[in-house]
Structure 1
Amino acid sequence: EKTVGLMDLVGEYEFNDVYDDIIQYTIALLNAKKMLIQAKANVIKESDRIVLLIDNYVTSLEQAFADKNTTAAKAILNQIMVEKI
């Protein structure tokens, strides 16, 4: 049995409503994660680096979304999964 990943599911689609939703949800989740990290900042020593990283991902995803750049969006989503943010 082959494991199906997120990118396998969306890879066949053009830049459409499904992809738009995935990007918007990812941005919302990253922003929520950032707020949680900032709330626990005194516990997490790397919080500043992580918050900056999240801000960079959010900015990049928002730009890819605005540009309707599927390739960039896929690369960013893959990087987020690799980083395990």
Structure 2
Amino acid sequence: ALANTMGGLECLVFTAGIGERSATIRKAICEKLTWLGVVLEDRANNTHAEILSRPESKVEVRVIATDEESVVARHSRMVMQA
């Protein structure tokens, strides 16, 4: 609903454990977003490339690695030191 209200998406980012590692989940999500112009490149998706969208896709699809534990630790340290 938000994507429709905003007039579409520029970029779709998959991150964290499942988003980074599950080509099956990414494909299932992208198949539901074809109405936004998302076109997934299967080979890129299956090889866990950084950019997963085809050149003709209206929405860039990316995978960005995260280190969630480090982020939580940093934020916790900031709260404890405040």
TM-score exceeds 0.5: no
Larger fraction in helix: 1
Larger fraction in strand: 2
Larger Rg: 2
TM-score, length basis structure 1: 0.31
TM-score, length basis structure 2: 0.31
